C-alpha cells in the first residue's frame, strides 16, 4: 500500500505541487494535451504541438467554465496568477469573469472601429467620387504621413484639441505652415463626419483658430499701366491662332482696369500685321495708349487672328 502511494505521488508530482518557472520550461509535449495544475484553479495546458496555455477552471451559475489568460512565456507565471486572483475577486463580487472579459473585448473592438484612422479613412472614401483623384491621394498622403502615426490609433472621442495642436505644431516646425493649416482643415472635416455618423460629440478643431500663425501671401505685381499691358501683349504675340487671341484679350479685359480709370476710356487696338498679333497705336492726341474699353466699359474688344480673320469678341464684363 505504501509503495503504491509513493508511485502515485511521484507520477503526479507536477500536478499537485505549485508550478515553478523551471517546471514550466522543462515541460515536454505528449501525444495528448497535458494539464499541469498550479493553485486555486489555475493550470497550464501543454498541447501536442508544444504550446503552453494558461487556463482557469471555475464555476458560475451552477456551470463549469473555463477562462483563458494567454500563452507562456508571453504571460509569465506571476502574471497568470495575478489574472487568476482578479478573476476570483470578480467571482466573490458575483460577476462572471468570462462575461466581463467578453465585454472588454467588445469595447476594444468598438474603440478600434471608432479610431480616428478608421473614421478618417471612411470619410475619405465617402468623398472619393466627388473629388479629383489627385486631391484624394494628396489628402490620404497627408493623413498617413502627418496624422495617423500620432492620432490614428486613438478613439476619436478621446482626441482633444491639445492632441490635434501637437500634430499641427510638428508640421509647422518643419517649415510647412501651409500644410499645417491644410491638415487642420482635413482633421476638422473628419471630425464633422464622425459627428454626423454618431461617433463623436463635437469637432475640437475650431478651438485652435489662431493657434498656428497664418501663412504669408506674396502677391505678384499687377499690371496697372497701358505700357505694361502692351509689353504683355507683345510677349503673347508669338502664340498661334485662337490661343493668342484668347490670351491677348484676357489682359485687355482685366489686367488694365486700373489704367482704364486713369486714361478715361482711351483704347488699345489690336490688329493683324503680317500674320502676327501686334499692339496698334490707337492713341489719344497726346500719344498715350488707352485702355481696352471705351468710357462706358461695355464695348467688347475684337482680336484679330494671324490669318487676318477676326476672333470672337471677348466681353470685359
Q: What is the CATH classification number for the domain harbouring 54?
A: 3.30.160.390
Domain boundaries, position 202:
116-208
Number of domains into which the chain is organized: 3
Report yes or no on 248 lying in a domain.
yes
67/127 same-domain check: no
Can you tell me which residue has the cell 466627388? 130
Report yes or no on 273 lying in a domain.
yes
**C-alpha closest to that of 81 among 108, 54, 100, 104:** 54
Confidence of residue 226 (pLDDT cuts 50, 70, 90): confident
How many whole angstroms separate alpha carbon 21 and alpha carbon 116? 41
How many whole angstroms separate alpha carbon 35 and alpha carbon 87? 20
Report yes or no on 214 lying in a domain.
no
Single out the residue in 208, 240, 267 at which a domain terminates. Answer: 208
Mean pLDDT, residues 180-184: 96
Predicted confidence at residue 304, as pLDDT, reads 45
225/169 same-domain check: no
pLDDT over threshold 70, residue 250? no
What mean pLDDT is reported for the chain?
79
How many whole angstroms separate alpha carbon 120 and alpha carbon 153? 11
Predicted confidence at residue 248, as pLDDT, reads 61
Helix-helix angle 177-196:161-173, to 10 degrees? 150
Report yes or no on 185 lying in a domain.
yes
Q: Is 184 in contact with 166 (CB distance < 8 Å)?
A: no
Instruction: Out of 85-89, 239-243, 281-285, give the one with best mean pLDDT.
Output: 85-89
Predicted confidence at residue 32, as pLDDT, reads 93
Single out the residue in 188, 208, 228 at which a domain terminates. Answer: 208
Single out the residue in 40, 66, 95 at which a domain terminates. Answer: 95
Amino acid at each position: 500500500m505504501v509503495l503504491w502511494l509513493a508511485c502515485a505521488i511521484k507520477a503526479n508530482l507536477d500536478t499537485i505541487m505549485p508550478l515553478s518557472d523551471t517546471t514550466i520550461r522543462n515541460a515536454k509535449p505528449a501525444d495528448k494535451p497535458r494539464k499541469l495544475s498550479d493553485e486555486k484553479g489555475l493550470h497550464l495546458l501543454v498541447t501536442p504541438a508544444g504550446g503552453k496555455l494558461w487556463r482557469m477552471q471555475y464555476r458560475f451559475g451552477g456551470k463549469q467554465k473555463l477562462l483563458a489568460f494567454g500563452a507562456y512565456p508571453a504571460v509569465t507565471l506571476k502574471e497568470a496568477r495575478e489574472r487568476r486572483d482578479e478573476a476570483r475577486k470578480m467571482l466573490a463580487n458575483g460577476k462572471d469573469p468570462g462575461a466581463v472579459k467578453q465585454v472588454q473585448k467588445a469595447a476594444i473592438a468598438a474603440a478600434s472601429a471608432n479610431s480616428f484612422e478608421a473614421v478618417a479613412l471612411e470619410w475619405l472614401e465617402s468623398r472619393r467620387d466627388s473629388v479629383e483623384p489627385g486631391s484624394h491621394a494628396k489628402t490620404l498622403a497627408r493623413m498617413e504621413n502627418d496624422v495617423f502615426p500620432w492620432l490614428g490609433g486613438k478613439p476619436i472621442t478621446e482626441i482633444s484639441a491639445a492632441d490635434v495642436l501637437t500634430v499641427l505644431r510638428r508640421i509647422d516646425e518643419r517649415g510647412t505652415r501651409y500644410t499645417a493649416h491644410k491638415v487642420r482643415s482635413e482633421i476638422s472635416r473628419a471630425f464633422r463626419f464622425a459627428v454626423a455618423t454618431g461617433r463623436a460629440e463635437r469637432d475640437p478643431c475650431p478651438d485652435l483658430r489662431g493657434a498656428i500663425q497664418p501663412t504669408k501671401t506674396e502677391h505678384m505685381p499687377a499690371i496697372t499701366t497701358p505700357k505694361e499691358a502692351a509689353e504683355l501683349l507683345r510677349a503673347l504675340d508669338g502664340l498661334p491662332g485662337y490661343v493668342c487671341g484668347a490670351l491677348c484679350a484676357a489682359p485687355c479685359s482685366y489686367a488694365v482696369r486700373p489704367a482704364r480709370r486713369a486714361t478715361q476710356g482711351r483704347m488699345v487696338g489690336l490688329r493683324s500685321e503680317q500674320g502676327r498679333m501686334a499692339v496698334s497705336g490707337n492713341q489719344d492726341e497726346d500719344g498715350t495708349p488707352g485702355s481696352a474699353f471705351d468710357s462706358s466699359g461695355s464695348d467688347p474688344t475684337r482680336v484679330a487672328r494671324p490669318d487676318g480673320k477676326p476672333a470672337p469678341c471677348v466681353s470685359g464684363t
